[in-house]
Structure 1
Amino acid sequence: MTELLEVFTKDRVGYLRFNRPDKLNALAPEMLEGFTAGLTAHEADPDVRVVVVCSTGRAFSTGGDMSGPGRAASAGHRSSYTDWQRQRASLERWLRIWDSPKPVVAAVQGYCLGTATVMAVMCDLTVVADDAVIGWPQLPVGGGLLSPVASWFVGPKKARELAYIAGSRFSAQEAVELGWANHVYPAGELHERAHELATRIANTPSDVLAVKKYALNRTMNLQGFRDAVLSGAEFSAVSHQAPGAEFIAARRAELGMKETIAAVQQGLLAGDYPQAE
């Protein structure tokens, strides 16, 4: 398994630990592939009853890796069909957590941004360090992946606020108060407390845990959760082709990421946004 993702077990708990602290655990393709393989391995291990997803360093994950050739290219340069496929594959990867027969606990410290927010709430339980910051993209070029999923946990009003204001964030304490997370712990205790929680869950037989999880999932799926999550890929692909999104992508190519974010946050580009016909 790649060094960027550590897969191991301890006390009937299987671990998937992102290990790219120098890049704030931005999710490189090999990390994503390793995640799916590692989760599958833990599911097949009869000694593993619970899985914990965590990270080394000062950030849980800043989301998708935007470095490397072609990775930072605008989604507008892809066809809508290709974009939809790509976004759906991302959501299906995190739905693997939802569908897993074993409970999965996310332990979040520092920044949890972009697609990492989807991963964290797909886990059965989410615990956060008191330094955690949950954040949405700083450029308004997409719509459909993050907030529709979050709406099931934080409510529609807060989800709209997060979606409509670029760069929205909330704190660890707010995460618990909103229902996005279960518990907040001191940063230095996060991983120990997450392990304690997981071992308490592991005192229940695996087959009983699986039935409990499927029963809870069935309730949300009957309300449309799974279909709503996957529909986000369609809306995301459409939003990337919107004239406003293409305008911002062009400014990013011209000015650079930091300068474009600053311009958007200060409202300097708002008067120039094109209107869809």
Structure 2
Amino acid sequence: MPYQHILVDEPKPRVQRITLNRPDKRNALNNLLRREIFDALQSADRDPNVSISILRGAGSCFSAGYDLATDNSVDQPYHSSAGPGQWARHVIEGWFGIWDLAKPVIAQVHGYCLAGGTELATACDVVYVADDAEIGYPPVRLMSPPDMQYHPWLVGMRRAMELMLTGDAMSGREAAQWGFATRSFSLTELDQRTLDFAERVAKVPVELQQLNKRSVHRAMEIMGARAAMRAGTEIQALAFTTEASRAYMSTFRRDGGSVKAQLDQRDTAFGDYRTKKE
């Protein structure tokens, strides 16, 4: 199918690469972009000539998160049960859809990887990042906990607490040291090192590779990762009933200027992300 928001190529034999292609929006995840990501990954999972996929972002970053300038309740890529917490349940189902694919997926992260962008990276099997990437979940400051509460599973309780209580970002180097990412490289190396790894993975027969991938995921699930992240959607829904979250959300308007002002309101006191003074 023709795509509007992604580019798909095959840079190496048996390697599919998907580039999120909304650079003017910092690859913000609207419903169409998510739909196209899922379609391309599922097509690769069915294609006997593909062994592994890479996800990366065009322009200055991987993804700055969900597109807050659009109404993401409209034209969602798949049905999810309605009621409080619908959005969090919905996106969790999609991210676990990537987790459950037979073939591995690599997230290649540079620049900002924020909020929903971190959830997309979490759903992937291997995460290679640029040393100077900025990886964080700033909505915890004025909106809610994450839709997908991956922090304690990837970085441990103490680091998770630090990140969840501040919304501060990890650098790419820190993300690799703490366990969110697999490895970090200089930005100039990132493309090639990701392709080198994908080539090595593609040497293993697909029918065996899917079992290798599944064995790691099953261990995480036995420890409770899937159940905990799904249960976290109820806590996320509860956050929107708090006075602070309701006050913040009451001033939100779905236009670029308003969204930028709201994000600046959230981050100015912390002096980071787009409000950082160079």
Q: How far is 1:233 from its partner?
A: 1.6
Partner of 2:127: 126
Distance (Å, rounded) in 1 between the aligned partners of 2:51 and 2:267:
45
1:94-105 matched pairs, under 5 angstroms: 94-105=95-106
The residue type equivalent to 1:40 in the other structure is Q
Letter of the structure 1 residue corresponding to residue 103 of structure 2:
K
How many residues align structurally?
A: 257
Quote how far apart the aligned CAs of 1:263 are. Answer: 5.2
Cα deviation for residue 97 of structure 1 reads 1.6
- Displacement after TM superposition at 1:108 (Å): 0.1
Contact 1:144 1:235 in 2 (8 A): no
TM-score (norm 1): 0.85
Counterpart Cα distance in 2 of 1:259 and 1:6: 31
Distance 2:137 2:146 in 1: 12
Q: 2:145 aligns with which of 143, 146, 155?
A: 143
- Per-residue displacement from partner, 1:119-158 (whole Å, max 9, x unpaired)? 1122111000122100212542112424x31211101111
Q: Which runs of 5+ in 2 are unaligned?
A: 74-80, 271-278
Deviation at 1:101, TM superposition (A): 0.8
Give the CA deviation at 1:195. 0.9
Alignment gaps of 5+ in structure 1 = 73-79, 269-277
Aligned-residue CA RMSD in angstroms?
2.3
CA–CA distance in 1 between the matches of 2:112 and 2:17?
20
- Comparing 239-248 with 101-110, greater Cα deviation is found at 239-248
Kindly state the Cα deviation for residue 259 of structure 1 after the two structures are TM-superposed.
5.1
CA, structure 1 residues 114+144, in 2 after alignment: closer, same or farther (shift >3 Å)?
closer
Residue in 2 that maps onto 1:275: none
Which amino acid counterpart does residue 175 of structure 2 have in structure 1?
Answer: A
1:77 is matched with: none
Q: Secondary structure at the match of 1:8?
A: strand
Distance in 2 (alpha carbons) for counterparts of 1:208 and 1:168: 39
Which SS does the other structure have where 2:138 is aligned? coil
Output the TM-score relative to the length of structure 2. 0.85
Q: Is 1:35 equivalent to 2:28 in the alignment?
A: no
The answer for the alignment partner of 1:219 in structure 2 is 219
Deviation at 1:216, TM superposition (A): 1.1
**Does 2:187 correspond to 1:187?**
yes
Q: Is the 8 A contact 1:108 1:126 kept in 2?
A: yes
Residues 7 and 262 of structure 1: CA distance in aligned 2, closer, same or farther (over 3 Å): closer
SS in 2 for 1:155: helix
Q: Distance in 1 between matches of 2:195 and 2:103?
A: 15
Q: How does 1:193-232 map to 2 (within 5 A)?
A: 193-232=193-232
Partner SS, residue 236 of structure 1 = helix
1:14-25 mapped onto 2 (5 Å cutoff): 14-25=16-27
Identity of aligned residues (%): 31
Partner of 2:274: none
Change (3 A) 1:136 1:43: same
The residue type equivalent to 1:109 in the other structure is H
